[in-house]
Amino acid sequence: MKYLYRIIKQLIDKHASSEQRLFLKTQYYKIRKSSLHLYLRKRYFRIKTKIIKRYFSYTPSQLEHKLRTMGLTSGDTVLMHSSFNVHNGFQGGPQQVIDCILNIIGPCGNLLMVSMPYGGSSFAYLKDRPIFDVRRSTSRMGIISEIFRTDKNVLRSLSPSHPILAFGPKAEWIIADHEKTMYPCGSGSPFEKILKLKAKTLLFDMTSRGISTFFHHVEDTFKEHLPVKLYDDEPLEATVIDSHGNRIKVKSYVFSSEARRIRTPRLLKRELLRSEGITSSRIGNTKLTLVDLNKAVDCARKIVESGNYLYNEKSFTIAAVAKFGGGF
């Protein structure tokens, strides 16, 4: 349904005049407020819920089995991105999803999640010089990450723009000194450290076109092979309150507007599929994707060594920048 809405919006933006767009927008909001629309939406929700429950439901043990067949094993370090809703078919709550991962990786494994306290771009967040409280700032990266954050045994890095949640024997080492890396996804960051642990990314019911936030580390590693500059020239500052209540000033470089506008992991994802570095499957109404992060870096290196930009083929021109949209 969301896909259909997006296609209709794109067609309207492309072909309708400003007056027609205004008229259609007015009529659309009138329909949304009508009693008929509310009734139909309620009925649709109920019918969809019944169908999912009857034909697409699955248990925690079935999820564990599926993830094991995809290649998740004991001792793995997992960077997880997730989306959780009542229609994914899972017979349990967000905590049970976390428990499934921990059961698989065991006491020797490490579970990580990103926990950005904002939606949108890091520039929009940091330009107002926010206060990031490592203990209290909620995660805007989904309910699973927020529940994971509240676990007293989970550690959180002090990066205001890309804080990492970590649980496991290597958790303290992974998040250490993240606030001292002015490039939060670059050298010395948790994203670089986990490569030494042969980490994998798990996308749980995500529709991401890429390989998660780790793509930012790939960008940083090969930033000289991008058609535009990756970062703004000046860092932005935020106040961070650590777990002891101490306040520190942390400066971070943010991604440039050009990079945010045109970034696409299309080439990298294609190369990962060729090298079997990415595995996708479904269980119930949930999409699962597992990515070997070291292979992701190797594939990116292969792309740039073949003479292409990381974002697109070398035929890409700066004049085409305005034509691109989207990103992470």
Residues 175-189 pLDDT 10s: 999 999 999 999 999
Regarding whether 34 and 73 lie in a shared domain, the answer is no
Sign of the dihedral defined by the CA atoms of residues 269, 272, 278, 279, in that order: positive
- pLDDT category, 326, cuts 50, 70, 90? very low
User: Is 160 found in the same domain as 27?
Assistant: no
Verify that 31 and 76 share a domain, yes or no: no
- Identify the pLDDT of residue 2: 57
Same domain, 176 and 45: no
State whether 187 and 290 are in the same domain.
yes
Residue 127 lies in a domain: yes
Work out the angle between the directed axes of helices 266-274 and 293-305 (0-180°, nearest 10).
110
| Residue 318 predicted with pLDDT over 60 | no
- Give the residue-averaged pLDDT of 263-284: 92
Nearest residue to 326 via CA among 153, 208, 189:
208
- Residue 21 counted as domain residue: yes
pLDDT digits (tens, 9 = 90+) for 233-256: 999 999 999 999 999 999 999 999
More confident residue, 324 or 117: 117
pLDDT of residue 100: 98
Measured CA angle at 82 (ends 300, 145), to 5 deg = 115
Q: For 105-159, what is each residue's pLDDT tens digit? A: 999 999 999 999 999 899 999 999 999 999 999 999 999 999 999 999 999 999 9
**Are residues 46 and 63 both part of a single domain?**
no
Number of structural domains in the chain: 2
Are 85 and 182 found together in one domain? yes
| The pLDDT value given to residue 18 | 82
Is residue 328 situated within a structural domain? no
Query: 11, 36, 54 — which closes off a domain?
Result: 54
* Pair (119, 30) in one structural domain: no
For residue 208, is pLDDT > 70? no
Q: Kindly tell me if the per-residue pLDDT of 325 is higher than 70.
A: no
Task: Kindly report the number of other CB atoms within 10 A of residue 106's CB atom.
Answer: 12
Mean per-residue pLDDT of the chain: 89
pTM of the predicted model as reported, rounded to 2 decimal places: 0.84
260 in the same domain as 114: yes
Contact assessment for residue 101 and residue 80, using Cβ atoms and an 8 Å cutoff: yes
Q: How far is CA 325 from CA 8, 124, 191, 262, in A?
A: 17, 17, 25, 6
Give the domain extent around 238: 59-323
- For residue 300, being part of any structural domain is answered with yes
Is residue 44 within 8 A of residue 77, CB to CB? The reply is no
Residues making up the chain, counted from first to last: 328
Both 44 and 117 in one domain: the answer is no
Query: Which long-range contacts does 166-172 make (Cβ < 8 Å, 24+ apart)?
Result: 166/110, 166/111, 166/112, 166/190, 167/102, 167/110, 167/111, 167/112, 168/77, 168/105, 168/108, 168/109, 168/110, 168/111, 169/107, 169/108, 169/110, 170/77, 170/110, 170/197, 171/110
Identify the band that residue 173 occupies on the pLDDT scale cut at 50, 70 and 90.
very high
Residue 211 lies in a domain: yes
Let me know whether 49 and 6 are in one domain: yes
Q: Residue 316 pLDDT > 50, yes or no?
A: no
The helix, strand and coil proportions of the chain, stated in percent and rounded to the nearest 5, come to: 45, 15, 40
Q: Are residues 35 and 106 in the same domain?
A: no
d(CA 119, CA 299): 29
